Amino acid sequence: MHGDAAGTPPSSPYVWESGDYQGNIIRITITFNEGTGALTGATAFRDDACLYRKIYFGVGVDGSPDTTGHVVNVSSGSANVPAGQLHSVGLDTISDVLAGQITAGP
């Protein structure tokens, strides 16, 4: 599993967030089994006025986040994202989540 620069493994939950230029937030809080790294679910949040509506994990073959298959759509407010939904976009472990860049976009 990936960790921080010191090599410390991540702890559950893993939280990633980004703001748009107006300060509105999009965030995903991912829970996982710290022993196996298996994702157990997530909570996605987006401020209603946030310009970003998707969270991209990694990049596609052209090097762009827009073409990755690992995308979570985030509606405004807070929503549960079951492990099965994460699996359906190719995210099964915390290592999958941390394998590349994480980006927010429209």
Q: Do the beta carbons of residue 2 and residue 10 sit within 8 Å?
A: yes
pLDDT band at 81 (very low <50, low <70, confident <90, very high): very high
Residue 35 burial (10 A CB sphere; 0-12, 13-18, 19+): exposed
pLDDT at 1 over 50: no
pLDDT score of 9: 72
Nearest to 76 by CA among 55, 56, 57, 49: 49
Q: What is the mean pLDDT of residues 77-103?
A: 95
- pTM, two decimals, is 0.88
Any domain includes 48:
yes
SS3 state at 65: helix
**Which domain does 36 fall in, by range?**
14-105
- Is residue 7 situated within a structural domain? no
- Going across the sheet that includes 71-73, the strands are 71-73, 54-57, 102-105
Give the chain's domain count: 1
Write the pLDDT tens digit of every residue in 11-26.
999 999 999 999 999 9
Whether the predicted pLDDT of 6 surpasses 70: no
Phi, psi of 65 (to 5 degrees): -60, -30
CA 26 – CA 18 distance, rounded (Å): 6
pLDDT tens profile 28-80: 999 999 999 999 999 999 999 999 999 999 999 999 998 999 999 999 999 99
Closest alpha carbon to 50 in 71, 66, 27, 28: 27
- 23 inside domain: yes
Residue 25, in any domain of the structure? yes
